[in-house]
Amino acid sequence: MCFTKSNSLVRILVLLCFSRTINLSSGANTISASQSLSGDQTIVSKDEVFELGFFKAGNSSKYYIGIWYIKVSSNPPTIAWVANRETSISDRFRSELKIIDGNLVLLNESKFQIWSTNVSTTTTLKSAIAVLLDDGNLVLRDSGSNSVEPAVWQSFDHPTHTWLPGAKLAYDNRTKKSQLLTSWRSKEDPGVGLFSLELDPITTEYISKWNGSQRYWTSGAWNGKIFELVPEMRLNYIYNFSYQKNENESYFTYSVYNPFIISRFIMDVSGQVQQLTWLEATKEWNLFWSQPRTQCEVYALCGAFGSCSQSGLPFCSCLTGFKPRSESDWYQSDFSGGCVRKTDLQCGRNVEKLDFLTIKVKSLPPNQSVAVGSAGECHTTCLNSCSCNAYSFVDNQCLVWDGDLLNLSEDNDNDSGKTIFVKVASKDLPLSSKDPLHHKKSNWVTVCAVVGFGGVVVFVLGVILVLIYRKKRISLSVGKTRMVEGSLVSFVYKDLQIATKNFSDKLGGGGFGSVFKGVLHDSSIVAVKKLESISQGEKQFRSEVSTIGTIQHVNLVRLRGFCAQGNNKLLVYDYMANSSLDTHLFHGKQVLNWETRYQIALGIARGLVYLHEKCRDCIIHCDIKPENILLDAEFCPKIADFGLAKLVGRDFSRVLTTIRGTRGYLAPEWLSGVAVTAKADVFSYGMMLFELVNGKRNAEQSEDSRSPFFPCLVSNVLKMGGDILSLVDSRLNREASVEEVSKICKVACWCIQDEEDSRPSMSLVEQILEGVMDVNMPPIPRSVTLFVDNTERVVFFTESPSKGSSEVYISCSPQSKSTSS
């Protein structure tokens, strides 16, 4: 299937090139002096990587000259550069791109020059040509010059929203100007949008700005290896960033180690800098990294009087009583126009009855001024001032806003939010949002009702209920807890707050949020996980959670219920009496004997088989490590945190953050930008088996440079037929079965093979550990081979230069990686 498709694609491309060659009557990658390009004609780079021609953004009838990827079959094509961003043309057949007086220019329908390379005529080129190169660079040079000579003009020096590998993003010390990566205005308008990224030459940091001035994100300074505020870059083995500086310019440039990975950086219309890689298997761009991490951190994303909400899509909405300034822009995700009042206030003419909308925001909008007076006077001041749009009374100070309200993030769930009152026409306000006192009252009513109801239930129906709930093993909490989707319970936030004594007994933390111990009303003990930064709306969250709820297996921690109230998203799990595996292995809680360790290895394998093969959709855990293996009262292992990667969405940066701080369980493919499969879990499982045998972290082992990296040692002992029991945790005093230890060690070595295909599936692992299958002698994992042969110094673990403590990761150095692939 795939083959025929790409074959026919190549054929079409060849045909297209052929017809193009005729039209342009010369090299298909060049526009020379006597030629012009119009209509559907395009030029194609030598190896058919990029194509240049007219394209239409969205379904408007506006055309632009652009460069797009040929091998990326996205729909619409992925545009990497645009010439005439601000001035479109409508009839591409009557427009021309051609060389005039040594410049490449675009003429519109009436032969008017609407875009030009603008090279000053002093650099007169006898016969200029424009060539599209395979890296996506369009260069203008003398036809007689060879490709080594610098171009007179190149598109790489005039980036639009994309920063391609090989291009610079520079500061020019001669013109004192930074090259900007600027967002499109909307998905359908390549014009210059409000968000930009640029290099600060003094601090060597990249800065994201709104409207050329307001900063909202910075990468932190370059320390020679990474940008200081982008620690996840330490896990980057896709890009080779390098910094150059001379008297004329300073710049960063980057390349991609693996030539088969198609990758780009963009300043997205959302104001986020994004790093994307093309996944041919799914035919989509995979978001690999983005900053700022949450959408609402982008300054003024939703425009004036627009409000950003991290939970639920779309992120932007207009404040109550306001509507988008331009509906069509708004629906194309161009929020920059912001919102306007539904009813104009007709200030001074006393036509409209005025009122104030009360909202709670994360932080007050900028550009307020201070007025004198009490809260009441503040209200009156704003009411009587035509120019006043809003007021707030904080810390005994009256603040008023005359201009637009920007950068609003509504935050109704958080008591620390700040209250601001926005002036609107009375008739545009629903009753409930008018009076702040009204709000408070109703809150109290709810609380009382909940407590009261709980009390009644307990006192009157106590005995009966206890019996019923015991039987069904369903947790009862105070209030309006109800059942959804079979066995899952939907909890009320306040009840969980009570159950966990206001989240006071912390059991642990993790990439997705902290876990607290709680006691439900029926005295059953639970673990409550408070999720952080879930960008999903409540409905989607519920449906994802109910999917996780259906995943039940004796070796998986059971999800009992959840809570989704506004920004509060919590998951309620069974409590595990014996804590997590790492506490026993590394923190000396209780030494586990060999039989227990073997059963734990087998149990985890069974749990993973279930996740990988038995569920409706294959679930990749993505973060298998001892911290995520919980032990019940009988030391039966249960995998925790499965399915959560899905909850937090496809945002890879979140995953990068999660694995940051997790030592040495990462499969190499995590770092290479290709799609991750269930075999990534197999790798992590293998790394964990070594630790189960040894009772020490693989990572810590290697910190002492004289003792060999444990997986390498195991590999060596197996190969040489050495003393197997010497590998076992010394606390066990060699009390272990040689056969089982040898079996586990072999399995572990198979699991950590570099090539995914060489690693066994979890069901094969299960069968081997059950004794149904035999296991062959594993090949020494490639990265380990290098270590054992000692021909090359391989960095398995690199310590964080700044924090020094816990951030350690596994990988071979890029040099050895690129030579071996």
Ligand X SMILES: *[C@@H]1O[C@H](CO)[C@@H](O)[C@H](O)[C@H]1NC(C)=O
Span of 408-416, 450-458, 532-540, 755-763 interacting with ligand X by CB under 6 A: 408-416
Smallest distance from the beta carbon of 186 to ligand X, in angstroms? 9
Q: Which listed residue (4, 59, 146, 819) binds ligand X by CB under 6 A?
A: 59
Q: Which amino acid is at 261?
A: I
* Residue 270 within binding range of ligand X, rule CB under 6 A: no
Number of residues that bind ligand X (CB under 6 A): 36
Question: Can residue 258 be called a binding residue for ligand X (CB under 6 A)?
Answer: no
Active site residue 623: yes
Task: Kindly state the smallest distance separating residue 187's Cβ from ligand X, in Å.
Answer: 8
**Looking at 4, 121, 246, 384, which residue binds ligand X (CB under 6 A)?**
246
Question: Is position 120 an interface residue for ligand X (rule: CB under 6 A)?
Answer: no
The residue (of 53 and 292) whose beta carbon lies closer to ligand X is: 292
Q: Do the Cβ atoms of 490 and 543 come closer than 8 Å?
A: no
Q: Which is nearer to ligand X, 332 or 737 (CB)?
A: 332
Per-residue mark of binding to ligand X, 171-190 (x: CB under 6 A): --x-----------------
Judged by CB under 6 A, does residue 293 bind ligand X? no
- The correct pick among 336, 481, 535, 694 for binding ligand X (CB under 6 A) is 336
Query: Smallest gap, in angstroms, from Cβ of residue 322 to ligand X?
Result: 16
Question: Beta strand 488-490 with 559-565: parallel, antiparallel or unpaired?
Answer: parallel
Dist. CA 313–CA 540, nearest whole Å: 10
Do residues 639 and 620 make contact, with C-beta atoms less than 8 angstroms apart? no
Query: Toward ligand X, which CB reaches closer, 93 or 453?
Result: 93
d(CA 481, CA 479): 6
Task: Record the tokens describing residue 712, joined without a space.
Answer: 């390498």
Of 91, 81, 19, give the one whose Cα is nearest residue 52.
Answer: 81
Tell me if 354 sits within 8 A of 383, measured CB to CB.
Answer: yes
Which of 367/806 has CB closer to ligand X?
367
The pair of three-digit structure tokens given for residue 771, joined into one six-digit string: 């004794």
Q: Which of 115, 184, 217, 305 touches ligand X (CB under 6 A)?
A: 115
**How many angstroms from the chain centroid is the CA of residue 389?**
36
Of positions 332, 579, 593, 767, contacts ligand X by CB under 6 A: 332
Least distance in angstroms from the C-beta of 755 to ligand X:
21
363 binds ligand X (CB under 6 A): yes
- Which region among 409-417, 459-467, 603-611, 679-687 touches ligand X (by CB under 6 A)? 409-417
- Cβ 416 to ligand X, closest distance in Å? 4
Q: Applying CB under 6 A, which of residues 284, 586, 814, 816 lies at the interface with ligand X?
A: 814
Question: Closest CB to ligand X among 214 and 742?
Answer: 214
Separation between Cα atoms, residue 83 and residue 87, nearest integer Å: 9
From 161, 181, 33, select the one nearest 103 (Cα to Cα).
33
Closest CB to ligand X among residues 293, 646: 293
Closest-CA residue to 130 (of 53, 200, 61): 53
Residue among 144, 259, 366, 771 that touches ligand X (CB under 6 A) = 366
Question: Is residue 242 part of the contact set for ligand X (CB under 6 A)?
Answer: yes
Cβ atoms of 752 and 711 within 8 Å: the answer is yes
The answer to whether residue 299 forms part of the interface with ligand X (CB under 6 A) is yes
Quote the CA–CA distance of 159 and 81 in Å, as a whole number: 7
Strand, coil or helix: what is 151? Answer: coil
Q: Measured from the CB atom, is 57 or 629 closer to ligand X? A: 57
Q: Provide the token pair at 447.
A: 């609380």
Q: Which stretch binds ligand X (CB under 6 A): 161-169, 404-412, 493-501, 594-602?
A: 404-412
Query: How many other CB atoms are there within 10 angstroms of residue 517's CB atom?
Result: 18
Contact present, 581 and 600 (Cβ < 8 Å)? yes
Residue 672 binds ligand X, judged by CB under 6 A: no
Instruction: Report the nearest approach of ligand X to the CB of residue 211 (Å).
Output: 4
- What is d(CA 159, CA 265) in angstroms, rounded to the nearest whole number? 11
Please name the residues in contact with 35: beta carbons below 8 A apart, sequence gap of 6 or more: 24, 25, 26, 98, 99
211 binds ligand X (CB under 6 A): yes
110 belongs to the binding site for ligand X (CB under 6 A): yes
Nearer to ligand X, 20 or 423 (CB): 423
Choose, by CB under 6 A, the member of 416, 733, 776, 819 that binds ligand X.
416
CB of 144 to ligand X, least distance (A): 22
Residue closer to ligand X, measured from CB, 113 or 543: 113
Per CB under 6 A, 116 contacts ligand X: yes
Which of 660, 672, 374, 629 lies closest to 508, judged by CA?
Answer: 629
Least CB distance to ligand X at residue 439 (A) = 18
Q: How far is CA 775 from CA 109, 382, 747, 764, in A?
A: 73, 79, 7, 10
8 Å CB contact between 584 and 732:
no
- Judged by DSSP in three states, 545 sits in helix
Q: Is residue 309 a contact residue for ligand X (CB under 6 A)? A: no
The angle formed by the CA atoms of residues 474, 477 and 479, to the nearest 5 degrees, is: 130
Strands annotated E in 352-389: 354-361, 369-371
Minimum CB distance to ligand X smaller for 58 or for 436: 58
CB of 682 to ligand X, least distance (A): 28
Q: How many residues comprise the chain?
A: 821
Pick the piece of the chain touching ligand X (CB under 6 A) from 239-247, 285-293, 431-439, 783-791: 239-247
Shortest Cβ distance from residue 722 to ligand X (Å)? Answer: 36
Cα-to-chain-centroid distance, residue 33: 46
Q: Which of residues 706-725 bind ligand X (CB under 6 A)?
A: none
Options 268, 334, 582, 623, the catalytic residue: 623
Task: Point out which span in 284-292, 358-366, 421-429, 665-673 binds ligand X (CB under 6 A).
Answer: 358-366
Q: Is-contact 699 798, C-beta < 8 A?
A: no
Q: Is 414 in the site for ligand X (CB under 6 A)?
A: yes
Binding-site residue set? 530
Cβ atoms < 10 Å from Cβ of 283:
11
Q: Which residues contact 703 (CB under 8 A, 6 or more apart)?
A: 797, 799
> Is residue 205 within 8 Å of residue 287, measured between CB atoms?
no
Nearest to 708 by CA among 776, 786, 779, 601: 786
Is residue 821 at the binding interface for ligand X, with CB under 6 A as the rule? no
Please report the DSSP string for 559-609 in residue order.
EEEEEEETTEEEEEEE--TT-BHHHHHTS-SSPPPHHHHHHHHHHHHHHHH
Of 106 and 751, CB closest to ligand X: 106
Which of 7, 25, 123, 367 is in the footprint of ligand X by CB under 6 A? Answer: 367
Segment contacting ligand X (CB under 6 A): 246-254, 456-464, 615-623, 743-751? Answer: 246-254
Burial of 521 (0-12, 13-18, 19+ CB in 10 A): buried
- Segment lying near ligand X (by CB under 6 A), choices 108-116, 318-326, 467-475, 601-609: 108-116
CA nearest 258: which of 165, 338, 132? 165
Q: Out of 7, 8, 61, 118, which residue is the one contacting ligand X (CB under 6 A)?
A: 118
- Should residue 514 be labelled a site residue for ligand X when binding is judged by CB under 6 A? no
* Residue from 2, 247, 395, 616 binding ligand X (CB under 6 A): 247
Binding residues for ATP: 530
CA distance 573 to 562: 9
Query: Nearest Cα to 165, choosing from 673, 669, 801?
Result: 673
User: In the complex with ligand X, which residue's Cβ is closer, 367 or 380?
Assistant: 367
- List of residues contacting ligand X (CB under 6 A): 58-59, 108-110, 112, 114-116, 118, 173, 211, 240, 242, 246-248, 255, 296-297, 299, 332, 336, 362-363, 366-367, 403-404, 406-407, 409, 414, 416, 814-815
Catalytic machinery residues: 623
